[in-house]
């Protein structure tokens, strides 16, 4: 496997000139790469069918006239492609490929804050491959009405294992919120492995009908002393389940998720698929 699109090989050139004798066909050169030779007879480039080159000699199909000048230009191929794996001085793989995924070794130090991997997808059940593995997106096909009963937000759950050198994992969830009652008030709580991140509590409310796209985003830091209230972990080496829970404040403040409230001048709601994503930073 190679990194990047396969380019036309770059080249360096060398030039030799010969003054022909009558009907001369063979010209001995200093050598070159077959397929990287151009010939010019009296300044006019010759077609490939008018000569051949075997790596040492140029042979003309038709003999040159006495005094003709043959210029032979050799282009030395310089392969610009980088083959994988790339190894360090100790023979360890630094950059490698498996199943069409290019991976950077965990021994490589990335600048702090660099994006190690990132994915973002509609909640359509699709699978996404990144460095740390394959993740199947939640499937959401309908709206969700929220009452005063605490429930999981549909589509907002994902289990993730970051690369070993990740220092921050950013969880992102985007959903449509729309009113059921004229007054609207929902509360949202973020959980990791069923433990609430209490300092991430959030809400959405309005005194009149509210319809809006709502973004939930939270960074989980890795390293140092664990703190469940902020979602900091001393280490993160296996899958952790991240999810959102929600409820309405009162029975008279209910809302619905993943849908519009009316559409295009009519009263029919339209389903709006939520989006979920993860970003891992060094």
Question: Which fold does the domain 112-281 belong to in CATH?
Answer: Jelly Rolls (2.60.120)
Architecture of domain 10-78: Sandwich (2.60)
Point out the residues of the chain with pLDDT beneath 50.
Answer: 1-2, 4-7, 9, 80
pLDDT recorded at residue 103: 67
Note whether 10-78 and 112-281 share their fold.
Answer: no
| Cα pseudo-dihedral 99, 117, 138, 262, rounded to 10 | -130
Q: What angle do CA 223, 225, 231 make, to 5 degrees?
A: 75
72, 19 contact by CB (below 8 A): no
Distance CA 234, CA 225 (A): 5
Give the domain ranges of the chain: 10-78, 112-281
- The 10 Å Cβ neighbour count of residue 44 is 8
- pLDDT tens column, 42-92: 999 999 999 999 999 999 999 999 999 999 999 876 554 556 677 766 677
């Amino acid at each position: 496997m190679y990194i990047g699109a396969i380019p036309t090989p770059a080249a360096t050139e060398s030039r030799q000139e010969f003054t022909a004798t009558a009907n001369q066909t063979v010209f001995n050169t200093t050598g070159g790469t077959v397929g990287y030779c151009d010939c010019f007879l009296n300044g006019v480039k010759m077609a490939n069918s008018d000569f051949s080159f075997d790596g040492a000699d140029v042979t003309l199909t038709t003999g040159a006239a006495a005094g003709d000048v043959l210029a032979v230009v050799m282009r030395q191929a310089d392969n610009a492609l980088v083959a994988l794996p790339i190894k360090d001085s100790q023979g360890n793989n630094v950059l490698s490929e498996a199943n069409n995924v290019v991976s950077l070794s965990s021994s490589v130090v990335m600048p702090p804050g660099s994006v190690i991997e990132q994915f973002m997808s509609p909640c359509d059940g699709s699978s996404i491959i990144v460095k740390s593995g394959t993740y199947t997106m939640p499937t959401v096909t309908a709206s969700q009405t929220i009452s005063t009963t605490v429930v999981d937000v549909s589509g907002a759950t994902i289990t993730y294992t970051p690369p070993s050198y990740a220092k921050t994992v950013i969880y992102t969830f985007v959903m449509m919120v729309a009113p059921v009652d004229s007054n609207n008030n929902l509360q949202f709580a973020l959980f990791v492995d069923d433990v609430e991140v209490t300092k991430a509590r959030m809400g959405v409310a309005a005194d009149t009908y509210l319809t809006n796209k709502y973004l939930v985003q939270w960074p989980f830091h890795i390293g140092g002393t664990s703190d469940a209230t902020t979602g900091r972990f001393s280490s993160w080496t296996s899958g952790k389940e991240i999810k959102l829970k929600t409820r309405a404040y009162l029975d008279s403040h209910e809302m619905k998720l993943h849908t519009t409230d009316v559409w295009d001048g009519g009263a029919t709601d339209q389903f709006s698929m939520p989006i979920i994503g993860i970003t891992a930073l060094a």
